Each structure stands twice: as C-alpha cells, then as structure tokens.
Amino acid sequence: MKPDLCRDFEVHADNGGWRVVTPWRYGDRDRVVVWAVPTDDGWRIDDNGEAAFRMTLDGGDPDSQRMRAWLSTVPPMLGADWNPDEQRLETFSDDTDLAGSIHAIAEVSALLGSLSLARETRTPSTFKDEVLSMLRDVSQETGVEARFDVALDQRQVLIADCMFLSERPLAIIVAGSVERLLEAELAWSEARRTGDQTRIVAVTEGDGAGIPRRRIDQAQFFTDKTLPYRGFEALLRQNITENLRH
C-alpha cells in the first residue's frame, strides 16, 4: 500500500517497503527521510537513526540526563517513540494510519536532528526581562489579560513565558536558546495536533545572539511567527499589539 501523502512528499519503493523523502529539513537543509518497513502486523516507520546521528555530531549526547528526559517526553506527544538500542525514532502502524505515522516521525526527527543541548552556553542577558516588561506594558495598554509561565500541554512540559487571554489566545515564548526555540516549535506542533487555536509566537534576541540563522529560518515554518527583538523593539511591540486586536 503506497502511503497517501501530499505532493510535497517523494515516495520510493524500497525492499518491499517505502522510502519517503519529506518536506521537513534538518538544520543543514538536508531533507528528512523516513522509512516504512513491513512487519507481520503492519508497518514500522523510522528515521534510520539519522536525527540522533546529526544531533551527536552537533555536540548532543542521547544518553545525557536532559536528553533522556526530552526523548521520553517529547516524541510520544507527537506520535513517535525513541528506541535506545537502535538509536532511532520509530513508531508502528497499520495501513489506516501509515501517512500520519510518517508525518509524526518526520516532524520529530527534524526537531531532534537540530537539537544541540550539550554545546549550549548560558550567558547573563537582560533579553528575557526586557521582553517580559514590554509584554506587561502591552497588556496594560490593550486591556488584554496576560499570564506568565503558562503550560501549553497536558503534561506541563512546554511552557509559554506569556499567554495573552485574547479571543484567540496568543502565547509568547522568549527563545534565548536553541532549546527554547525548539520548545516553541513543539508547542505549535502540539497545538495543531490537538486542534488548540492558541497562536504560538517565538521571540529571538536577534542575529548573532546564540541561535544560528538557519535555525531561526526553519522556525518560521513551525511557529505562527518567529520575530526578532534587538533592533526591532518597536516593531515587535506593534506586531503583538495588532495581533491582540484581531
């Protein structure tokens, strides 16, 4: 059975199964490839360990405490599992949900492949405090209630720094690191999966402030908006204010 996927996916027969070249991309712009391998009960869908390999090359350690916590929590939210023995993302499916399972593995593989926790450095910055102060001012000016440190998922893993309780809620994640930018992308993906209408906006400090440009460009496809702060303070304030009025 050929997976029922849109035209953005390239599907190739491969040893009785399927090799699917997806529209998702890793940080170096390579396409995410997913394999659907036939089993006695249906299909095993996996990324052949590509995401873990790329993350390791980028300085991450799948066996570190933080990565074990990430791998045990985040993939299941999006319909995937981590196989520690094979060092790969995988899930099992029958014909009825094969396409959905391919989507899930591709999405999580793209996120994991770009994760670089081990090399992340923490430096003192007033960036987050400045953004939160601006958001409090916007709340007062617009009359829209704002809450802070709000969980965006049932497991309370993904946290918004600020949530505006507008007619269609607007969640702001202050992304001062690659990890926080990934959490914004996961929050957006989880909202789409569950039908939650909350809009997810990531705010980065700006070019040259710790997050590679390619990661910021990628985040544009996995958030409602990813916006810079430094040098664009007035525009950011205006953008958020206008979104609260619509």
Q: How many Å apart are CA 76 and CA 98, to the nearest integer?
A: 16
Q: Which residues pair with 19 in a beta bridge?
A: 12, 35
Q: Is residue 62 part of a domain?
A: yes
- 196 and 98 in a common domain: no
Domain range for residue 76? Answer: 10-113
Number of domains in the chain: 2
pLDDT computed for residue 170 by the predictor: 96
pLDDT computed for residue 123 by the predictor: 47
138-141: long-range pairs with CB below 8 Å, 24+: 138/164, 138/237, 138/240, 138/241, 138/244, 139/164, 141/241
- 151 and 107 in a common domain: no
Q: Is residue 205 within 8 Å of 228, Cβ to Cβ?
A: yes
- 49 and 18 in a common domain: yes
Region for residue 56 given its phi and psi (left: phi exceeds 0; alpha: psi -120 to 50; beta: otherwise): alpha
Of 113, 141, 160, which one is at a domain's C-terminal end?
113
Q: Is residue 120 part of a domain?
A: no
Query: Which of 85, 68, 239 lies closest to 164, judged by CA?
Result: 239
Instruction: Please say if the pLDDT value at position 26 is more than 90.
Output: no
Q: Which residue has better confidence, 156 or 164?
A: 164
- 140 and 236 in a common domain: yes
- 154 and 200 in a common domain: yes
Query: Which of 50, 211, 191 lies closest to 120, judged by CA?
Result: 211
Q: Is residue 118 part of a domain?
A: no
User: What angle, rounded to 10 degrees, do the helices at 98-113 and 178-194 form?
Assistant: 170
Give the chain's mean pLDDT.
86
Q: Is residue 202 within 8 Å of 173, Cβ to Cβ?
A: yes
Q: Is residue 4 part of a domain?
A: no
